Amino acid sequence: MKDYPNVHILDHPLIRHKVAYLRDVNTDTKLFRDLITEVATLMTYEAFKDVPTESIKIQTPFELIDQDIVKNDSVAIVPILRAGLGMVDGVFNLFPLAKVGHIGLYRNEETHEPVEYYCKLPQNIENMVTVVLDPMLATGGSASEAITMLKKRGCKKIKLMSIIAAPEGVTRMAEDHPDVEIYVSTLDRELNENCYILPGLGDAGDRIFGTK
């Protein structure tokens, strides 16, 4: 895979540790959900490092100072249904006041192309930094389509957070959307014939919600 300036592979030992248990077929639904939340929290620290801030006056026990805080109403997170929902609490752990939009997409089982079924976004999202959440970046079709939908609705500064990615998905995203910062915790080897990520963790939505 080529190097892309907008792609950030985090590959942190604390994340590797948690991804090991996410991959484990014996990990139950509760632990799987908790691990997705924890990895999303760790990723938030990195992906939000240029979050908009504003200066306010704070009185310490010794001095009155100007201190930066996160700017109100400046960030929206947009989970891609269903599996992206699993990452929302992880972002809320560090960023409890983020606005939340929802985009519903599922992959057609034969073509693997995304099919849209829902979109509800916060008012004024076009003025916010918008962070799309989806634990799996496989062909990249779903994330790329979600970001196209956001751009059509006026979003200008967009990021993507995915826990596991295949090289095919990273390449598609980086080439479709070179203006979007892409944060991936773990880059896997390849896609199988059904466009699942190998070694991967299986179907993230089913493992989060216990549907299979």
Point out which residues bind ligand PRP (CB under 6 A): 80-83, 106-107, 112, 114, 134, 136-143, 169, 195, 203-205
> Is the Cβ of residue 76 or residue 80 nearer to ligand URA in the bound state?
80
Among ligand PRP, ligand URA, none, the one that 141 touches (CB under a kind-dependent 5 to 8 A) is ligand PRP
- Quote the strand ranges of the chain, DSSP E: 7-9, 53-59, 64-70, 75-81, 99-100, 102-107, 114-120, 129-133, 136-137, 157-165, 181-187, 190-191, 197-198
- Say what angle helices 29-47 and 13-23 make with each other, to 10 degrees: 150
What does the block give as tokens for 78?
Answer: 């947009």
- What's 49's DSSP letter? T
Least Å distance, CB 172 to ligand URA, is 13
Least Å distance, CB 153 to ligand URA, is 25
Using CB under 6 A, which of the segments 57-65, 124-132, 173-181, 195-203 binds ligand URA? 195-203
In one-letter notation, the amino acid at residue 201 is L
Among ligand URA, ligand PRP, none, the one that 4 touches (CB under a kind-dependent 5 to 8 A) is none
What does the block give as tokens for 38?
Answer: 């924890």
147: contact with ligand URA by CB under 6 A: no
Chain-centroid distance of CA 103 in Å reads 12
Site string for ligand URA, 99-138 (x = CB under 6 A): -------------------------------------x-x
Instruction: Give CA angle at 210 (150, 91), nearest 5°.
Output: 40
Binding site for ligand URA (CB under 6 A): 83, 136, 138, 196-197, 200, 203-205
